[in-house]
Structure 1
Amino acid sequence: MASTTAEQIVEKVGGPGNITSLTHCATRLRFELKDAGLVDAKALDAIQGVLGSVPQSGDRYQVIIGGAVASVYADITNLPSMKGGAAPSAAVSDADIKAAERAKARGKVAWLDAFFEYLSNAFRPLLGVLLGSSLIIAIAAVLDALHLVPFQGADRLTDAGATWVFWDSMWRSVLYFLPIMVAYNASKALKIDPWIGASIMAAMFTPEFLSLKDAADTVCVEVLGNDQCVAKIFGLPMQLNGYGGQVFVPLIMVAVLAQLYKLLLKIFPENVQMVFVPFFSLLIMVPITGFLIGPFSIWIGNGLGAGLAWLNTAVPLLFAVLIPMIYPFLVPLGLHWPLNALMLANISTLGYDFIQGPMGTWNFACFGATAGVLVVASRAKDMEVRQTAIGALAAGLLGGISEPSLYGIHLRYKRIYPRMLVGCAVGGVTIGILGWMFGTVKASTFAFTSLLTIPVFSPMWIYSIAIVAAFVVSMMLVIISDYRTPEQKAEFAAEQAAAAPAPAAAPAAVATAAPAAVGTLVATRTVSAPVAGELVALTDVADKVFASKALGDGVGIVPTDGQVIAPVSGVLMTVPESGHAFGIKTDDGVEVLVHVGIDTVQLEGKGFTVGVAKDQRVEVGDPLATVDLDTVKAAGYDTTTMVVVINTMTLKSVTPAAPGTVSLGDPVIDIEA
């Protein structure tokens, strides 16, 4: 039986034979499986060290690990069972998996999926160096703010000295040569030689290319304070640009290169491809990039940046609220990469970015919600959630990484998102109003919005107030209202009671009463509609026993759909083979009977498909059965479904809802114990 985390993960995704390939990113293991239907999702989520799991299109599956993902990945790849032909290996890149999925893509928006995957694969491997460089500039920003080292001076070499100019080079290397790195990753994503893509982009950074500005026949004109130069190359005009920090140029260039590269592979036989494919790729793509793609891509980046800048200037409050409100929905889907690309383009073009400030309020609202979960889980002594929250909060506050919070906690508990969005809105309004009054918050570099990178933002005090507001509001809302539903709290209480050792000499009466005592922690207040249809008074149903309320008070529902769900959470005490009735006892002792149809026991199960069994625990909304209403009607039976509280006499009040149309899950009976 599997014992280590790695062994358990492999087992729960269907075993080694079900794994086609495996890679990882900053927080997630990324599986390509033969059959995703073999994954035991519930057991997978319960593994120690797993923060959650996310099924994706096709047979892809993600397992959220957090900061320890690299070591877990290594443990999996080193398992003896993973050494066979179906085992994942380090040679299988994340790009390979994505490309394979794109090849299988179906539907009208397959191209859109491919586009976002392309962006994601071009940037994701760079997250580490981007984070590292943002911390280096954060230190520089602190020293400059304290007037210790004048990093922002006009002549930094004179003002700051050679030592600190050298310090500057540590982070500028990442942003300046970012296009070459993006070109390499983008080429891998499209399954072409990454060194060709990187080499074509690097041609724009050579001293020879940069010296074209000083050529005798180059013409330069000052436009808005900047020199715009045009050189004559082969007698044709080439607009010269600085490509440091540009991201749209390599993205578009590689997309074009991929088509040329694949064409060249078809033209040349394999024995000469090593020479002639790179030769013609460089010979064709360097001029195309210099003459067309480079200027065109910069124009696109400038245009998009100008559009957002206009929105930020014209309607700053709307912009400041919009960014943090959409990010919680973009990040889980991986759709935030285009905005990240615009941030980098802004820094390259303007020298600063204005998107990251509002974005930071979403991140801290996310971390605040996690902090609230940590407080509640600690009070409830839920050690599993507490441990997950501690790791996620550390990754967020120190690294600016939101995925452990999102996948490990927020997407698992539906009550968190609405509270987190309130924090996002408060943070956005705060940064919008203060920014409108005192100046837009700007970032001097691409930074992961953590505590350590606060000095990157200016005015720093506005940004600090906004992220604190977002953090505190989200945290307090989660603490006050809890992150769990009443049913989830009851389930946890029951699990705790079951896990607790029974007293050695406890009398039988006490042992019998214990579960009920635990159950009363969450009282049953309502009974939901187990079927959708037309609600009628119980006294009006055609069954005299139910109409007399001899079995308890309740309602009748004439169903319009054959789906039957659990109206309360509890244990199934009655599930006859005929499947026409279900008796459920809640944790606090409320007994509810759902009787589908009148005299339908005579059908002996014909038309009924039951999905549960006696003594099984169900939650509100869990499917119980599916009924073919036409079959029941054709046999001459009334389909009216009775929902009654069997122990009505022991309760303070049982109040049925008024007649009318009800949907599946609507409250139909109010209960007061």
Structure 2
Amino acid sequence: MNTPTPGALAEKILSGVGGSENIESLTHCATRLRFQLRDGEKVDQAALDALDGVMGTVPQSGDRFQIVIGGAVAGVYSDLMNLPSMTGGATPRPPSDAEVKAEIRAKGRGRFAWLDNFFEYLSDSFRPLLGVLLGASLIIAIASMLDAFGLVDFRSADKSATWVFVDSMWRSVLYFLPIMVAYNAAKKLKIDPWVGATVMAAVMTPNFTGMIGSKTPGVTTTTNTTLGTSESVAHVFGLPMQLNDYGGQVFVPLLMVALLALVYKGLKRIFPENVQMVFVPFFSMLIMIPLTAFLIGPMGVWAGNGLGTGLSWLNGNAPIVFAIVIPMLYPFLVPLGLHWPLNALMLVNINTLGYDFIQGPMGTWNFACFGATAGVLLLSVRHREKDMRQTATGALAAGLLGGISEPSLYGIHLRFKRIYPRMLVGCLVGGVIIGVLGGVNTKAFAFTSLLTIPVFDPMIKYIIAISAAFFTSMALVYFADYRTKEERAQVNAERDAAEAAPGDKAVVPAQTVAADDRELVAVGAAAAATGASAGTVAKAATAAGTPVADEAPVAGKGLELTAPVAGRVVGLGEVEDPVFASRALGEGVGIEPADGRVVAPVDGELITVADTGHAFGIRTANGVEVLIHVGIDTVKMQGKGFDVRVAAGQKVSAGDLLAEVDLAAVRAAGHPAVTLMTVLNTADMTSVEPHTGQDVTAGTPVVTVRR
């Protein structure tokens, strides 16, 4: 594959984002170019994704746009800034009269910035809960499968203590979801998250919920004989307060925290800094707990019930329309993070109606998405595309087993414009089938994967619909290809040329093996990093008097990458950054840090040290390229809280101190502190094996790399 020269790549990127006149500002972190554009509509995303040297693109709200480059980002940034048309460093130029008028008109229309902020608020309030929601849904799925096979009556009113206990394992997530949402929402709005959680917990204590339907003095309960429902009202300080069970409610904490943020920040302006720790939480609780109990709580319940009733009416009166709209909408909502409001409504339906009717049609979108990924996987096997095969395999496994669509979307579908139209046909087919067959319901919140099929009723209708969606998308993508004929011809020609190239493989001589007896991977990886062939590297080594083997690498246990920080090791799929989660920057791990000491995970040369201190790139003697990235979006901190102890070009050994980081400052700035470590040239390795789910100290092996 012919990689463009750095200057040529910079020119193509500049053209792809609409030229220098469309760039308001340009910065970079350790792996990405970050553009603030004047008009995001001018970006040719397909052309940018097709560039050699570009690993992916990430459109964002507010005309922001990211281009993932990898370890070479600093060089590409420098080339961009040195282009003649970028004179002035992409700083804002004085707006023209027409632009000033357009800006005024845009402000008059709102420019939808408030809408972006609203959906970001919703998304960030739910996204961190993805793991526990998925865990709860899988517990429900297992119990439902046992129920389907007649081994246990999952829905029985008189279940044994064993199954009551199993119920508590998943109900804990759904019942206490309001407290979790309140915590995340408060964190998003940059106030003390524990205050948000405490206010919500106050109306969920046994003392509070125990008054519902009780004979407590001051509590009256009335029964609606027509509807068969009852309502309890407590008279507190002489004022009537409607009592509700807020378990599983999501609108209440979202409304409450939005008001709490105003109160909390207002109190911080009133009280001196030396007494804020005591009086700001105290008065926040004193104000917000009564407001939530008397006003916000009932309002949130009414709003949720109203929305659920409206959707239920549409589902009951126009089921085909409803069943088609939901799966056709989701492919556009999920990439933007706008699907959380519908997910919230699912929880409302379960709490108010006892079942949900949105998840069934939504499942057809998920399986259409996974079907498109399966089509790409089959094509990658057929055309011997190693990189795409690895990407599609991981994305398909995450989808079918976990119900997670983001790896498919970010890793594949959004990169190739031919996939979406074919995937939408699968969504349409699945939605029509569910609508014609009369709808599908579920009594549990579940991620739509193979494992959660038993929670849907009627199950056979659901299976027919998702199967049709899956195989329709898969067939359309496979037979039409996700590349055009011209692109396919070019890619296959490049593949054939690469396969026909000399395949001499060289290894590092035995005497250079580190003292801890780690296996060193082949020098061919270094060739990939520099653009030379393995044979070229071998010849150079021989000319220098270094003995080089002619055959395959030495067999061994693999190169071990150790933890750069102490903490809890998690998979990349669990982190909040879609680029790392999609493995666009290679396979690796995330570590929730226990302290701020960041050390080298392997012996090698520091090829990148970010000026802001949040990222480091290390290349081993045999070409394994390792990225250490401290926190998410911490480039925005401009180095505050990062004490860097090394410089680019320096040789380091595993365990050497790279930086000391003030984790409290990172979290106070609203950034996740998770430290990420990936192998940037994963595609050149036989395997990169992360070891997750463990608590480690710095220096513990967490990733095994094999050639």
TM-score with structure 1 length normalisation?
0.61
Paired residues for 1:522-561 under 5 Å = none
Does 2:173 match 1:174?
A: yes
> For residues 231 and 502 of structure 1, do their structure 2 counterparts lie closer, same or farther at Cα, with a shift above 3 Å needed?
closer
Of 35, 56, 59, 2:60 maps to 56
Does 2:321 match 1:318?
A: yes
Match of 1:205 in 2: 204
Query: Is 1:64–1:407's contact at 8 Å kept on the other side of the alignment?
Result: no
Percent of matched pairs sharing the same residue:
66
Q: Which amino acid aligns with 1:171?
A: W
Question: RMSD of the TM alignment (CA)?
Answer: 3.3
SS at match of 1:151: coil
Query: Is 2:379–2:481's contact at 8 Å kept on the other side of the alignment?
Result: yes
> For residues 20 and 258 of structure 1, do their structure 2 counterparts lie closer, same or farther at Cα, with a shift above 3 Å needed?
farther
> For residues 344 and 503 of structure 1, do their structure 2 counterparts lie closer, same or farther at Cα, with a shift above 3 Å needed?
closer
Q: Distance in 2 between matches of 1:337 and 1:32?
A: 28
TM-aligned CA deviation for residue 136 of structure 1: 0.2
Q: Distance in 2 between matches of 1:424 and 1:36?
A: 33
Of 367, 370, 379, 2:370 maps to 367
TM-aligned CA deviation for residue 56 of structure 1: 2.1
> For residues 64 and 468 of structure 1, do their structure 2 counterparts lie closer, same or farther at Cα, with a shift above 3 Å needed?
farther
Q: Which amino acid aligns with 2:444?
A: T
Does 2:336 match 1:328?
A: no
Point out where structure 1 has 5 or more consecutive residues left out of the alignment. Answer: 1-12, 23-28, 66-71, 77-104, 505-673
Match of 2:350 in 1: 347
Match of 1:26 in 2: none
TM-aligned CA deviation for residue 155 of structure 1: 2.3
Match of 2:230 in 1: 227
Q: Distance in 2 between matches of 1:256 and 1:241?
A: 20
Q: Distance in 2 between matches of 1:382 and 1:476?
A: 19
SS at match of 1:229: strand
Match of 1:446 in 2: 445
Q: Distance in 2 between matches of 1:441 and 1:468?
A: 14
SS at match of 2:223: strand
Does 2:316 match 1:309?
A: no
Q: Distance in 2 between matches of 1:60 and 1:139?
A: 42
Query: Is 1:221–1:227's contact at 8 Å kept on the other side of the alignment?
Result: yes
Q: Distance in 1 between matches of 2:170 and 2:50?
A: 38
Paired residues for 1:493-642 under 5 Å = 493-501=492-500
Match of 1:579 in 2: none
Q: Which amino acid aligns with 1:226?
A: T
Q: Which amino acid aligns with 2:361?
A: P
TM-aligned CA deviation for residue 495 of structure 1: 1.7
> For residues 367 and 305 of structure 1, do their structure 2 counterparts lie closer, same or farther at Cα, with a shift above 3 Å needed?
same
TM-aligned CA deviation for residue 63 of structure 1: 7.8
Cα distance per residue 1:385-431 (max 9 Å; x no partner) = 22211111111111111111112111222111111111111100111
TM-aligned CA deviation for residue 20 of structure 1: 8.2
Query: Is 1:32–1:60's contact at 8 Å kept on the other side of the alignment?
Result: no
Paired residues for 1:283-298 under 5 Å = 283-298=286-301
Q: Distance in 2 between matches of 1:396 and 1:441?
A: 20
Cα distance per residue 1:506-536 (max 9 Å; x no partner) = xxxxxxxxxxxxxxxxxxxxxxxxxxxxxxx
Of 415, 422, 429, 2:432 maps to 429
TM-aligned CA deviation for residue 52 of structure 1: 3.2
Q: Distance in 1 between matches of 2:37 and 2:361?
A: 38
Of 260, 265, 269, 2:268 maps to 265
SS at match of 2:255: helix
Q: Distance in 2 between matches of 1:312 and 1:500?
A: 55
Q: Distance in 1 between matches of 2:175 and 2:307?
A: 20
TM-aligned CA deviation for residue 338 of structure 1: 1.0
Match of 1:474 in 2: 473
Query: Is 2:62–2:113's contact at 8 Å kept on the other side of the alignment?
Result: no
> For residues 20 and 377 of structure 1, do their structure 2 counterparts lie closer, same or farther at Cα, with a shift above 3 Å needed?
closer
Paired residues for 1:189-200 under 5 Å = 189-200=188-199
Of 280, 283, 288, 2:283 maps to 280
TM-aligned CA deviation for residue 262 of structure 1: 0.8
Match of 1:154 in 2: 157
Query: Is 2:232–2:242's contact at 8 Å kept on the other side of the alignment?
Result: yes
> For residues 178 and 45 of structure 1, do their structure 2 counterparts lie closer, same or farther at Cα, with a shift above 3 Å needed?
farther
Cα distance per residue 1:90-147 (max 9 Å; x no partner) = xxxxxxxxxxxxxxx9862111010000000100000000000000011111111222
TM-aligned CA deviation for residue 490 of structure 1: 2.3
> For residues 47 and 135 of structure 1, do their structure 2 counterparts lie closer, same or farther at Cα, with a shift above 3 Å needed?
farther
Q: Distance in 1 between matches of 2:348 and 2:144?
A: 21
Match of 1:122 in 2: 125
> For residues 485 and 32 of structure 1, do their structure 2 counterparts lie closer, same or farther at Cα, with a shift above 3 Å needed?
closer
Q: Which amino acid aligns with 1:284?
A: I
Query: Is 1:45–1:53's contact at 8 Å kept on the other side of the alignment?
Result: no
Q: Distance in 2 between matches of 1:334 and 1:51?
A: 22
Query: Is 2:371–2:470's contact at 8 Å kept on the other side of the alignment?
Result: yes
Point out where structure 2 has 5 or more consecutive residues left out of the alignment. Answer: 1-12, 14-25, 73-105, 504-707
TM-aligned CA deviation for residue 348 of structure 1: 1.7
Cα distance per residue 1:34-86 (max 9 Å; x no partner) = 8799x9999998899x9733132469666899xxxxxx9xx99xxxxxxxxxx
TM-score with structure 2 length normalisation?
0.58
Q: Which amino acid aligns with 1:464?
A: I
> For residues 62 and 455 of structure 1, do their structure 2 counterparts lie closer, same or farther at Cα, with a shift above 3 Å needed?
farther
Match of 1:464 in 2: 463
Does 2:386 match 1:383?
A: yes
Query: Is 1:51–1:404's contact at 8 Å kept on the other side of the alignment?
Result: no
Q: Which amino acid aligns with 1:343?
A: M
Match of 2:422 in 1: 419
Q: Whose radius of gyration is greater, 1 or 2? A: 1
Q: Distance in 1 between matches of 2:294 and 2:469?
A: 46
